[in-house]
Structure 1
Amino acid sequence: MSCYVIKPTSSSQRLPYLPLLMTLRGGRQVTLDNYREQDEQQLFHIFKKIVEDGQNYPQEKMESVQDFRDYYLSHDVFVARDATETEEVLGAFYVKPNFPGRSSHICNGGFIVKETARGMGLGKKMAEYFLYIARDLGYKASFFNLVYVNNEASLKIWRGLGFKEIGLVPNAGYLKGLGYTDAVQFYYDFSTLTGSVEQIR
């Protein structure tokens, strides 16, 4: 048995400020809330497309819904839906321990945005809320293992939010059309986070 196992779990804690209404660039209204079972197929197709593009995640393929469940839905997931009655899923992020056991107080987050919803600031909004949600779920810090240097939008978000760059992994991923690509590692100490989600505009 591997000594490095992070057991699937989901917090029973319902954060009192969810759902949250977000306004994106252009005025589009989006609701951020807990994952629901009916979100699964839409999320799977968004993530499958991102994996197939081969630019941002290390997976080479994501062919089955079960593989998606095992990786993406194993812990707490928060979903951004169009605020109209269609409730189209536009993006999501998970929050889960980055390490097991004695280091499980450090979390990781995995963000996805639907291709047609990019360029409206949804990724940044979710990143801002991630800090408070992860803190309020009881995590003490966040650590991102692999932010590929070609992902300029992601790098800009984490640097803008005050994450510390604590490492560079040379040739961390063999990306489609790019070959071997370095990755930045980011760290955020939640004890430095002040205020609450209400201050996000």
Structure 2
Amino acid sequence: MAYVIAKKKNTDEKPFDYLPKFHTLRDGTEVILDYYDNQDEEETYRILKDIVDDGQSYPQETMETIQEFKDYYLSHDAFVVRQAQTAEVLGAFYIKPNFPGRCSHLSNAGFIVKPSARRKGIARFMAQNYLYMARDLGYKASMFNLVFVNNEGSLKLWRDLGFVEIGRIPNAGNLKGVGFTDAVQFYYDFATLPQKQ
């Protein structure tokens, strides 16, 4: 039987004094990394639903309702990148324990970027901040369980940021239009991070 990770208790706590964080993308677009807010629900859900429907990078086969999205994506800490002028959600990520109990010091994260906003540096901006944010939430390390080998952009990003490949799972996912595909597992020890960003 698979383990269950308890949902984080609802609080209005905002643990980071460095959010919101402003950033300029490669194309000159001004963006803001901030806490997920209920106003982001529809846009964030739509981005994840489209990615799940595409069937190439997330293990779920469907994401049909906002409640499914909330149960999965919002169980712990969630953050968004908004376009500074319009507040449009361009990307998002969650941070949560990868395992329960005695192993809950290992974090996991899920990153999504709106298709029209890709290849502008949003994923790298989120990933670089994730390392510090997860550490500042008290996690000791990060472990990604399923980075499918066809997701070349994600593989490159984690390697560039210094993640260590700790394993490869043969035929881990039956991806849409591709078939059975291997997945790489990545690990990052937060003790190796410089103290400040």
Same fold (TM over 0.5): yes
- Corresponding letter in the other structure for 1:119: R
Cα distance in 2 for residues equivalent to 1:3 and 1:158: 27
Amino acid at match of 1:102: R
Q: Which residue of 2 aligns with 1:49?
A: 50
Q: Which residue of 2 aligns with 1:115?
A: 115
SS of 2:62 mapped into structure 1: coil
Moved runs in structure 1, 4+ residues, more than 6 A? none
Q: Per the alignment, in what secondary structure is the counterpart of residue 186 of structure 1?
A: strand
- Which deviates more, 3-12 or 112-121? 3-12
Match of 2:172 in 1: 172
The match for 1:6 is 5
1:136 maps to what in 2?
Answer: 136
Write the distance in 1 (CA, Å) between the matches of 2:163 and 2:2: 29
The residue aligned with 1:83 is: 84
The answer to whether the aligner puts 1:37 opposite 2:38 as a matched pair is yes
CA distance in 2, matches of 1:63, 1:50: 12
Shift of residue 14, structure 1, vs aligned partner: 2.2
Identity of aligned residues (%): 62
Matched, 1:72 2:73: yes
SS of 2:109's equivalent? Answer: strand
TM-score normalised over the length of structure 2: 0.96
Instruction: State the shift of 1:195 in Å.
Output: 3.2
The DSSP-based 3-state class of the residue aligned with 1:59 is coil
C-alpha contact 1:13 1:137 (8 A) present in aligned 2: no
Shift of 1:13: 4.2
Please name the residue that 1:160 is paired with: 160
Deviation at 1:3, TM superposition (A): 7.5
> What is the rounded CA distance, in whole Å, between the counterparts of 2:121 and 2:177 in structure 1?
26
Letter in 2 for 1:183: A
CA distance in 1, matches of 2:94, 2:64: 20
Which stretches in structure 2 are left out of the alignment for 5+ residues?
A: none
For 2:189 and 2:14, how far apart are their aligned partners in 1? Answer: 22
RMSD, aligned CA: 1.2
Quick check: 1:194 aligned with 2:189?
no
Give secondary structure in 1 for the equivalent of 2:60: coil
Contact 1:56 1:148 (C-alpha < 8 Å) held by counterparts? yes
Instruction: Give the Cα–Cα distance (whole angstroms) in 1 for the partners of residues 73 and 24 of structure 2.
Output: 26
Does the CA contact (< 8 Å) of 2:15 and 2:137 recur in 1? no
Farther off after superposition, 6-15 or 122-131:
6-15
What's 1:19 paired with?
20
Task: Read off the aligned partner of 2:131 and give its amino acid letter.
Answer: L
Q: In the alignment, does 2:146 pair up with 1:149?
A: no
Which region of structure 1 is more displaced relative to structure 2, 187-196 or 88-97?
187-196
Structure 1 residues 91-100 or 4-13, which shifts more? 4-13
AA partner of residue 54 (structure 1): G
Q: What code does the residue aligned with 1:4 have?
A: Y
SS in 1 for 2:56: coil
**In 2, Cα distance between equivalents of 1:173 and 1:88:** 32
Residue segments in structure 1 that go unaligned for 5+ positions in a row: none
Offset of residue 74 of structure 1: 0.7
- Cα contact 1:145–1:186 (8 A) shared by 2: yes
